[in-house]
Structures are given as structure tokens and as C-alpha cells.
Chains A and B, each alone.
Chain A
């Protein structure tokens, strides 16, 4: 019985992640428009966009290979599985032990690997420039992420997110190292999700674009899968920050139904807060030149390394 309930919860989490991801994106866009004193699209616009895309025929370049057609599904599946491993409304789900924080980061790496390959598959310059820059950013963002994982894991004594969240709920307190990890994680999240100041999700045909350049040749249902994967990835990072640094409201394993309801409510609240803060950050900063981004990400790497070093010096930092 407990197993069935657990599996059910796991399934609920996977569907919840999928259902909320476009909402988060739509909410972000709406608030951003309001902050720029525009009216902006309705909150549910991303759902409409996805529906529109999957109904259209897919136009594929003549020389596209099977990898080009398979990649959107691989990207989506890897991102979805990664997002399902992050505790959203409850900890201790039955498959939480399948992967820890390093696995989540590596799964995002797998998705990126296929995305970058798809970018060079057609053999256009735009795809190449996007892939090349994406891999540059990733080569700094991934080690920064690992250093953040180290910091968090050394404080909590585990790389397993369920245990991390439980530890943070009980006995974390304010720590210098965690503060550094939080700043670094925000930088990594901004870069990984192609948000301002690293990349601009709203533009096309700009020489500075990265993510949009890679997916330029996609259309129809393939583009829908990639857009959905990008939305899920944004949700994943917001959930990750929420689960590590704002772990309140998470329902522990085996709680009663009201606890789960509170968990879901708290989760939605965290998402809204995260999206509001993201917009606040984005509207108050300008887009960076591409070769300034490595310095921005290097700061995250150094903060993560510094946090880890402090914890190696003393566990009390």
C-alpha cells in the first residue's frame, strides 16, 4: 500500500512539474511585461504556444539527420527526469534515491549535449555559434554547480536532495558558505536558463544569442519539445533553490494528505516568489557581451570553491 502511494506521489510530482513549467514561464513573462509597463501576454500564453506548435507540421532541413529528429525527445526526457528527481512538494519519494544532486546536474549536461549536437547538425553558422557558446558557458557553469553541490553536501552530510532538504529544515542556520553557494547557484541558474544578462530569451537574430541560435532550425512539434524542456529546466532550478534554501513546507515521507496539500501550496508560492525575483533581477540589469559571461560564471565558480574551502577548513562556517 505504502509502495503504491509512493509511486502515486512520484507520478504526481512528474506530472506537476510538467504542468507547472509553462505556467512559471507565462507568469515570468507577464510580470516582466508589467515591470516594463506593458500589458503583456496572458499567463497561459505558453500553453497556447505549445499547443499551436504541436499542431503544425514540422519543417526539417533537407540534410537533417536522424539525430536532429531524435534530439528533442532526448533533451526533453533527460530534463524531465532531472526535474522529477528534485523534491518539489514532498521529500523522500520512492525514487528519490535514484540520483543525487550530481546526477541531476549531469542529466542536464546530457540534455545540453544533445541540444548542442542538434545545433551543428544542419551545418549552418547560427547553429554552430550557438553550440560553441553554449559549451563555453557550460564548461564554467558545470564545475560551478559541482562546487555548489560540494558546499551543500559538506554542510548537510549528503548529496541526496531529500536528506539535504530535511537537514536544512532542522538544523542549518545561517552560514557563510551557504550564502556563497546561494549566490553561486543563482548565477548558474541564470546562465543555464539563458536569461538576461547571459542570454536574452526574447530575441532572435542577434549576434549575441546562444540558446535561440541552436534551436533556429527547429519547428513544429520538435520546437514544442525543446521549448517545454526549457520551461521544465527553469522550473527545475527554481525548485532546486527552493528545496535547498527555502525548504519549508516540504512534506516528509509518509505524511497525511493535508501535509501534501500544504506542500503543494508552499511549492506554488515558492515558484511565484522565484519568478518575481528573477524578473526583478532581469529588469534591473543589462545584457552582457558574450566574453564578459565567463567572468560572471567564473565568479560563481570561485564562490563555490571558496565555500567548499571554508568548509574544509572548519565545519562550522
Chain B
């Protein structure tokens, strides 16, 4: 049934290729995509909620000869299908309105449905061959969307780096599946589950590299802040909110399902990488002016948080603590789900701002809450959710992760005992910094006075975009106040992967969530929301009844010296300056240099800030430099005489034969 939905999406791709000249083409194609996504969404949620104990399988006679392609819908696939197609459906709804601003729809329409179909197929694939094929389909379709606006100078470079990293990721996944399949070549996932994997630790590291490069784990994240913002905003939302989750699915599928029993040291690697990504991602996000780049860096942070949860789950699973492993895995998957919701919302909002002001730089916005009140309200909800503030959904998953960390002193290994609290501290730091990051983004873009004339003229976005954002926000609120429903829906997944499930949450009094026992910890988002609402209303009522209701509008006070020039406002860079100074001097080697003109000179003083990307400089630049040197040297091979070629061939043959002889 889910495959039919994929077929609808592929049909939409054909439509997109055929219809690109017609005016209504965008609406038709995105409308069909919406239908396709909703079909898969319905099937998957039915499966997850009601029929999770009976996996559906299908075998299609496509792919390699005499093998066929295997597809399977089980609880894990169904959960991620829900996530992906929820994101796909809202993005398609958004694009029905937003897509009409697209200058060249022919570059977007054919690839967008293929991208959606590719992501769903990865989740359904049940053998290594179809997995890798659909994984590449997803990568290539998204690459085509990244370079859709290839006239902008940065986008070509973004596309180049993206396709390099994507190829690298697929290569490592290919090697990982090769090790999993073993010498017999059991390429179906069923065969891999039965077989004892060769070198499982290496498989895990390869999958961490492959899936991690797609998900944006540090230090493999360099492509992500370049590529995600380059695509049209609804595609950015899909890449950031949804495609990274497909990568997380790949990791979960291999590490928790295919590879068998984990070793405890795997979780050390995963925890460390997750913690570093979380902090590095949010610190980088804090320093960005480009709203879409900021959101892309914040994706790295959230993927890091998910991997902290996954690392804990691996640690608990390796030590046979199934119940706690279920808690940590639930926290990680819930955070993946929550992140897809609010990140889509925020990217939609950035798209709406882009069409309204023509800008992605928040320093050229300001005061948009007046021209775009509805977008401003919806974006405020998204910012609250991503900053992990109660009663919205981002808080719930981080709270659950903290609860899992609090149970980790029971782990016997010393390395984990030391790393788990450190990961907790990094998670707390990332959460606090992300609040700072989104106060800055929202405050500079929406509040204050318009910094450019274009920002002053901005008008509200269209109905479809607003509907898509409102859907996301409503889901964020529901997931925040009724997380017990989601936790219970995740129980078949954790049951299958860790052999345990969290206690049933929907029967708790007042729909609280209680991860272990009520004497340990509990949280009730519904009542928190209710209390805040009631106390706000009571306060407003009391103030309006007993206090003066008079309001006088006047010029801003500003200590008596208000300046009408909007350039005197605090800018995004000045907002980030204290944090740059405290954290950036180490992490980014941030240096500030002030050039004061000599006395009497009329020249302005200049403040120059230099930042270094240490990951790029220490890891990627040497590789790129080494490659350049090597190609320069090897280039000489092109200009040899025929005699030298022949002797080279002969020498190679002799060398290979010798190697075989020695090997035997």
C-alpha cells in the first residue's frame, strides 16, 4: 500500500517533467505530491498504531537479475515513514503557495517528487541493493534541487561539496553492507540478521560515517550548511527536517537491528560525536546572519542531540538494561520527530521571509512582526519549540534524554560513567545556547524597526504557506502537551529494537509522562500549558479590573536619547558578540581587531572580526591540498610516450602477478 503512494509520487515526477511550461503546473504537481504523501502517511500510521506486530513484505521483480528487490514495512520503517511523509505533506502544502515564486519551475518540479519518493523507498527497502539504490536516488534528486538555482555563485560550490560528501557516504555504507553480507553475499536484511557479521565494530564505524555524513554529524557536517540553504525553502525544510532523519533511520536500522549485539565502546564513539555536534552546531548557528544557514547549523545541533540519545540507548542495550535502553531510544526518536516538525516550520517561515523581503540576511530585516503578523506568530511558536521551552515539544524529548542520562550511573564501564555526564552537560549547554540563538534570530528579524525599506514594505505570505506553518505549529503543540501518545506509538519500535518498552503512558493520571516511576520524575505538558494559560488570564483580568487601562503611545524612551535611524539598533552581530567572545575564541579562533584612525583624521574606525573554521582547516583543507598535489603529479601520466605506456602496463601486470603469488 505504501508502495502505491510512492508510485503516486513518481507519477507526480513525470507530470512535473511534462507540465513544466503550463502555469498551473506547480499547483498540480505539489497537489499530487500532497496526496501521495498523505497516502503513505495514512498507511504507515495505521501500521504503526494498529498492525505493528505483522510486518508487510513485498518483492518486486526489478533490480538485479534473478534477485529482485525486497521491501518491508515494520514498526521502525512505519515510524520513519510517518515522520518523512508528515514533513513531505506539509512541505508540499507550503509549496503550493510558495512554488509560484519559483523563477524556473522546470528545475524543481521533476526532482521534488523523486526526492520524496526516494526517501520513502529508503525506509521501505529491505535488502542492501535496493537500499543503496534508493539512497542514491534520494541523494541525487536532492543534489539536483540544491543546484536548481545554479546561477548564484555559492550554489555551484555547495552542490559540488554536497555530491562529494554524498558519494563518500554511500561508499562507506556500501562497505558496511559488504561486511554485513559476509562471504556468502546474503544481501537481504533478513540474511544479514541471521548471519554473524564480520568485524561488527568496523561495520558500526562505517555506518556512523555514512549515515553521519548525511545527517550532518561533526566533523562530516561541512556540506550541510552550504547545501541546505541553497535549495528552495520547501526543499531546505525537507533536507534539514526530513532527510537527516532518513540518515538517522539508516544508523538505527544497522546499529540496533542488523548488526546484532552491540559492544559498549560503540556508544562511546556515538556519544562523543553527538555531544560535539550539538555544541559545535549551535555555536556556529549563533554566529550566522543568513537565516537559512543558521537553521542548517541548528539542524547539526539537533542531530547531535538525537545521537546522544542513540549512544545512550546503545550503551544500555550493550549492558542488557533493556528498559532504560527503550527510554533512551524513545527520547532519541521522539526528538527526531519533534525536530522534523519545528525545523520544517522554521524553514517555511524563512521562505516566507525570503519572498516578502527578498533577503536571507537577518540584518536586513527587522520589524516584520508588523507587516507579517501571522507568520511572526507561527515563527515565534517554532522558535519556542526549538529552544526546548515548555510546554512545547522540543522540551519533552530533551527532558526524556536527561532522564536517560540520570540512569546511566548504573552502567558498569568507567568510560561511559565519565562520558555520560559530559554528554549531559553538552546537551544542557546546547539547549541554553539554542535559546540564545533563536532569541537573536527572532528578535533581529521580526522585532525592532525595519532595517531596510524592503523590510518595511513586507506583506503577509499566502494562505497555503500559512496553512502549512500552522499545521506544523499545531502538531508541535500537540506533541508537547500529549507526548504520552507518541511515546506509546513508539513502543513497538523499541520493543523490536531493544526488547523492552517504556511503561504505558496514556493510562497515567492526567496524561502525564512518567519514564520510570512517579517517585523519580514526571512531567505534564498539558497541565503546564493549562496553568500558564489560566494564570495569564487571571493576571490580565485582575490587572484590567483593578489597574489603570490607559495607554499612551509616545516616542521610545531609550534613556532620553532616541535615534530615529534604524541603523542605531542592536544588530545580529552585536547581539552575538558576547557569546562570540566567551565561546568563540577557542572554538572558532575568533579575533577582533580595531583600527583607530590617527587623531585629526576623518576616517572611520574599523572593527574587523576574523573567524576560522577549524574543522575545515585541519581536516578538509589538508585532504583537498593533498589531492591537488597528487593529481598534479599523476597528471604527468597523460603525456607519456607509447613505449613508456607499454612498459608501465607490463610492470603493473608483473606486480599484480607477484602480489597474487605472495598472497597464495
The verdict on B579 contacting chain A, using a C-beta distance below 8 Å, is yes
- Of the candidate stretches B222-230, B262-270, B351-359, B382-390, the one touching chain A is B382-390
The verdict on B611 contacting chain A, using a C-beta distance below 8 Å, is no
A residues within 8 A CB of B519? 157-158, 160, 163
For chain B, the count of residues having a C-beta within 8 Å of the partner chain is 84
If A73-B540, A138-B436 touch, whether A97 touches B522 (CB-CB below 8 Å) is yes
Which residue of A67, A99, A147, A221 contacts B543 across the interface (Cβ within 8 Å)? A221
Shortest distance between the CB of B537 and any CB in chain A (Å):
9
The verdict on A143 contacting chain B, using a C-beta distance below 8 Å, is yes
If A76-B539, A224-B547, A315-B409 touch, whether A62 touches B520 (CB-CB below 8 Å) is no
The verdict on A230 contacting chain B, using a C-beta distance below 8 Å, is no
The verdict on B168 contacting chain A, using a C-beta distance below 8 Å, is no
Provide the B402-421 mask, 1 if CB < 8 A to any CB of A, else 0: 11011011000000011011
If A54-B547, A100-B521, A123-B569 touch, whether A107 touches B528 (CB-CB below 8 Å) is yes
Q: How far is the CA of A155 from the CA of B388 in the complex (A)?
A: 26
If A97-B524, A221-B548 touch, whether A102 touches B575 (CB-CB below 8 Å) is no
Shortest distance between the CB of B593 and any CB in chain A (Å):
18
The verdict on A95 contacting chain B, using a C-beta distance below 8 Å, is yes
Is B425 a contact partner of A153 (Cβ separation < 8 A)? no
A residues within 8 A CB of B447? 65, 67, 117, 120-121, 123
Is A128 a contact partner of B569 (Cβ separation < 8 A)? yes
Is B553 a contact partner of A62 (Cβ separation < 8 A)? yes
- Of the candidate stretches B149-157, B426-434, B620-628, the one touching chain A is B426-434
Q: How far is the CA of A109 from the CA of B521 in the complex (A)?
A: 19
Which residue of A97, A112, A126, A154 contacts B558 across the interface (Cβ within 8 Å)? A126
Is A117 a contact partner of B421 (Cβ separation < 8 A)? no
B residues within 8 A CB of A81? 528, 531-532, 535
Is B418 a contact partner of A309 (Cβ separation < 8 A)? yes
B residues within 8 A CB of A124? 556-558, 562, 568-569
Of chain A, the residue at the smallest CB distance from B535 is A77
Is A125 a contact partner of B569 (Cβ separation < 8 A)? yes
The verdict on A194 contacting chain B, using a C-beta distance below 8 Å, is no
Q: How far is the CA of A133 from the CA of B433 in the complex (A)?
A: 12
Interface of B is mostly: helix
Is B439 a contact partner of A143 (Cβ separation < 8 A)? no
If A138-B435, A157-B520 touch, whether A58 touches B550 (CB-CB below 8 Å) is yes
Q: How far is the CA of A272 from the CA of B559 in the complex (A)?
A: 35
Is A294 a contact partner of B548 (Cβ separation < 8 A)? no
Which residue of B387, B518, B570, B577 contacts A127 across the interface (Cβ within 8 Å)? B570
Q: How far is the CA of A92 from the CA of B75 in the complex (A)?
A: 39
Provide the B273-294 mask, 1 if CB < 8 A to any CB of A, else 0: 0000000000000000000000
- A287-316: which have CB < 8 Å to B? 290-291, 294, 301, 305, 308-309, 311-313, 315
- A117, A153, A313 interface centre (most CB from chain B within 10 Å): A117
Provide the B510-523 mask, 1 if CB < 8 A to any CB of A, else 0: 00100000111111
5 contacting pairs across A/B (C-beta < 8 A): A56-B548, A95-B531, A139-B429, A147-B424, A220-B550
Nearest 8 interchain pairs by C-beta: A128-B570, A123-B448, A57-B550, A54-B547, A142-B432, A143-B428, A120-B443, A135-B436
- A sample of 18 more A-B contacts (CB under 8 A), given A110-B389, A312-B417, is A62-B554, A63-B556, A73-B543, A84-B531, A95-B527, A98-B524, A100-B522, A103-B528, A106-B389, A113-B389, A123-B570, A135-B436, A138-B436, A139-B433, A142-B435, A158-B521, A291-B578, A313-B417
